[in-house]
């Protein structure tokens, strides 16, 4: 959204004393009398009367609407320094009206002359030029905000809206201040300014600017804007009908408002209308070709949702020929704008190596992470799968996998629910196996302890058992006993990975046989 351009001002007719009779006639709608009274003054060079004539030709009041005649009278008054005439003539130059060339530089010059005299509309339009860097002026949002502040303080609705928008975005050196934005939107909306009504409706819908969430009030404000032909208000009202928020859920009503906004080239409405065609909603036939056409219109305006949906149609070959390369182009455009579904779909292309991309699980993991961090269930599930398998440069981490599956499952994602159930069973089986192994090790430890205690009992080992342990025959010499002992001890000593149990067995066998020889 950008700041609104001020509409062509309808300056109040001057009411200086010599013009009072003409003004009285003008106010009661007697334009012929007003022109008869003002004509002599205008012909005599009275700037106010000349300006008034310009307004009447500009608006077609009492005379046929005639931009060329309006331009002529505005110029006569402007050349005498009449501020409102300078502002209106500047507007004609900005639009290329009344036979004038489109000339932003001349428009800026005239706006500056009028603004320096305090003309509200000229100040507002000059602010627009500074915001956009038009008419040879530098792009200067601070100067734009200063000029809009002058207008807003005098009650100009468009300037109030523009300044409010700057507060909502934290632009031109202003702090981000949703409360200040809402206050300014309210001032402009109360004057019937459609764009302000729409933005104030958004604040109520989303609970911004210190306002309560109130879908009914949002719907009321959107309707006021929509009835004036504001495309954003029409699209937003359609959304409320689609969702059943603040109004009864009604696809047919949503379709009406989406179509009105789409006809005004509103990209969000074009995308929503395309979705209705893709689903066959609102009484529409299911029509992927029409959906693709509408998505393309919105996508070409940079709408990320439409870009994502168009990419999906190309991926699936619905309404357009199947074309992975084209799908990739649109997914990337949307992903670069931070669209979660597009990031997830693009990540899947990298994981699978589709659309001419190299297989790159690290890039897939990065994109899934971006998607998951926005709360997207599919992205959470895909990222969880990479953690479960230890792929994409991620550690194998079933706890993190389970956490991500749970986040997705809680949103109703069936794939994640199944994955979470499967992982839970695996973890249960693994835990049972660990417990079984631990129990077996404990049983072995206890058996070994019992064996050690048994073997350590006095006189327990017989000479025959000792010979068997050392691998000797009856009648072995002391040298043979010691040699066998040393050879085996090198293999079973705890220092070389053996066990205390076997080392003790060797010690006992040696001692039994040596005692026998000494007897």
Residue 67 lies in a domain: yes
Residue 386 lies in a domain: no
The pLDDT score that the predictor gives to residue 452 is 61
Which of 96, 116, 139 is the last residue before a domain boundary?
Answer: 139
pLDDT band at 201 (very low <50, low <70, confident <90, very high): very high
Which of 139, 172, 194 is the last residue before a domain boundary?
Answer: 139
Place of tokens 């809009």: 148
CA angle 337, 339, 344 (to 5 degrees): 125
The pLDDT score that the predictor gives to residue 459 is 53
Higher pLDDT, 447 or 155: 155
Please write the tens of the pLDDT for every residue from 175-197: 999 999 999 999 999 999 999 99
The pLDDT score that the predictor gives to residue 67 is 96
For residue 87, is pLDDT > 50? yes
Residue 111 lies in a domain: yes
Name the token pair of 72: 């002529």
The CATH number that applies at residue 85 is: 1.25.40.10
| Whole-angstrom distance, CA of residue 135 vs CA of residue 138 | 9
Please write the tens of the pLDDT for every residue from 355-408: 899 999 999 999 999 999 999 999 999 999 999 999 999 999 999 999 999 999
Name the token pair of 8: 């062509």
Residue 166 lies in a domain: no
Which of 139, 164, 184 is the last residue before a domain boundary?
Answer: 139
Please write the tens of the pLDDT for every residue from 89-111: 999 999 999 999 999 999 999 99
Mean pLDDT of the region 151-168: 96
For residue 226, is pLDDT > 90? yes
For residue 7, is pLDDT > 70? no
The pLDDT score that the predictor gives to residue 6 is 41
Q: What is the Cβ-side half-sphere exposure of residue 93, based on CA atoms within 13 angstroms?
A: 23
pLDDT band at 22 (very low <50, low <70, confident <90, very high): confident
Contact 122, 87 (CB under 8 A): yes
Higher pLDDT, 23 or 3: 23
Residue 278 lies in a domain: no
Range of the domain at 511: 462-518
Contact 455, 504 (CB under 8 A): yes
* Residue 103 burial (CB count, 10 A): 16
For residue 5, is pLDDT > 80? no
For residue 54, is pLDDT > 50? yes
| Whole-angstrom distance, CA of residue 446 vs CA of residue 439 | 11
pLDDT band at 457 (very low <50, low <70, confident <90, very high): low
Least confident of 204-218, 226-240, 284-298, 429-443: 429-443
Residue 95 lies in a domain: yes
Least confident of 124-133, 205-214, 305-314, 492-501: 492-501
The pLDDT score that the predictor gives to residue 18 is 55
The CATH number that applies at residue 473 is: 1.10.287.110
Mean pLDDT of the region 242-260: 97
Mean pLDDT of the region 30-57: 92
H-run or E-run covering 217:
helix 215-227
Contact 273, 284 (CB under 8 A): no
Please write the tens of the pLDDT for every residue from 271-326: 999 999 999 999 999 999 999 999 999 999 999 999 999 999 999 999 999 999 99
The pLDDT score that the predictor gives to residue 451 is 62
Residue 343 lies in a domain: no
Contact 158, 188 (CB under 8 A): yes
SS (H, E, C) 153-173: CCCCHHHHHHHHHHHHHCCCC
Phi, psi of 502 (to 5 degrees): -70, -35
Residue partners of 445: CB distance under 8 A and separation at least 6: none
| Whole-angstrom distance, CA of residue 274 vs CA of residue 260 | 13
Number of structural domains the chain divides into: 2
pLDDT band at 517 (very low <50, low <70, confident <90, very high): confident
Please write the tens of the pLDDT for every residue from 330-339: 999 999 999 9
Residue 352 lies in a domain: no
């Amino acid at each position: 959204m950008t700041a609104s351009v001020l509409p062509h001002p309808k300056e109040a007719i001057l009411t200086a004393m010599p013009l009072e009779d003409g003004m009285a006639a003008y106010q009661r709608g007697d334009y012929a009398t007003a022109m008869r009274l003002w004509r002599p003054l205008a012909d005599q060079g009275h700037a106010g009367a000349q300006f008034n004539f310009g307004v009447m030709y500009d608006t077609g009041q009492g005379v046929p609407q005639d931009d060329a005649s309006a331009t002529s009278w505005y110029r006569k008054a402007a050349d005498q320094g009449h501020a409102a005439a300078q502002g209106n003539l500047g507007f004609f130059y900005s639009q290329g009206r009344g036979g004038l060339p489109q000339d932003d530089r001349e428009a800026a010059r005239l706006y500056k002359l009028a603004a320096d005299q305090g003309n509200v509309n000229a100040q507002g339009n000059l602010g627009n030029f500074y915001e956009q860097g038009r008419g040879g002026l530098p792009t200067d949002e601070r100067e734009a905000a200063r000029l809009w502040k002058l207008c807003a303080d005098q009650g100009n609705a468009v300037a109030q809206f523009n300044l409010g928008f700057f507060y909502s975005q934290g632009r031109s050196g202003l702090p981000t201040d949703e409360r200040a934005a809402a206050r300014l939107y309210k001032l402009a909306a109360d004057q019937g300014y459609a764009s302000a009504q729409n933005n104030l409706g958004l604040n109520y819908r989303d609970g911004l600017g210190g306002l309560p969430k109130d879908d009914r009030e949002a719907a009321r404000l959107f309707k006021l804007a929509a009835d004036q032909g504001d495309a954003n208000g029409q699209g937003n009202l359609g959304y409320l009908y689609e969702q059943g928020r603040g109004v009864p859920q009604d696809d047919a009503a949503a379709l009406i408002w989406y179509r009105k906004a789409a006809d005004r080239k509103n990209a969000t409405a074009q995308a929503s209308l395309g979705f209705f065609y893709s689903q066959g909603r609102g009484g529409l036939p299911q029509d992927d070709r029409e959906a693709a056409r509408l998505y393309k219109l919105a996508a070409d305006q940079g709408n990320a949702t439409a870009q994502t949906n168009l990419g999906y149609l190309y991926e699936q070959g619905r309404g357009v020929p199947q074309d992975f390369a084209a799908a990739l182009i649109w997914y990337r455009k949307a992903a670069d704008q931070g669209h979660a579904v597009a990031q997830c779909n693009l990540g899947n292309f990298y994981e699978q190596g589709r659309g001419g991309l190299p297989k790159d699980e690290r890039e897939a993991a990065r994109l899934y992470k971006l998607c998951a961090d926005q709360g997207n269930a599919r992205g959470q599930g895909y990222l969880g799968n990479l953690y479960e398998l230890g792929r994409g440069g991620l550690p194998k981490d079933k706890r993190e996998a389970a956490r991500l599956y749970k986040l997705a499952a809680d949103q109703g994602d069936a794939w994640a629910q199944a994955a979470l159930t499967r992982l839970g069973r695996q973890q249960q089986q693994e835990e049972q196996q660990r417990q079984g192994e631990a129990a077996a090790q404990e049983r072995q430890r206890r058996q070994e302890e019992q064996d050690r205690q048994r073997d350590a009992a006095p006189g327990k080992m017989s000479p025959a058992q000792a010979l068997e342990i050392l691998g000797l025959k009856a009648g072995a010499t002391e040298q043979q006993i010691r040699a066998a002992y040393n050879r085996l001890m090198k293999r079973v000593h705890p220092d070389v990975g053996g066990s205390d149990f076997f080392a003790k067995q060797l010690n006992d066998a040696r001692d039994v046989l040596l005692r026998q020889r000494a007897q």
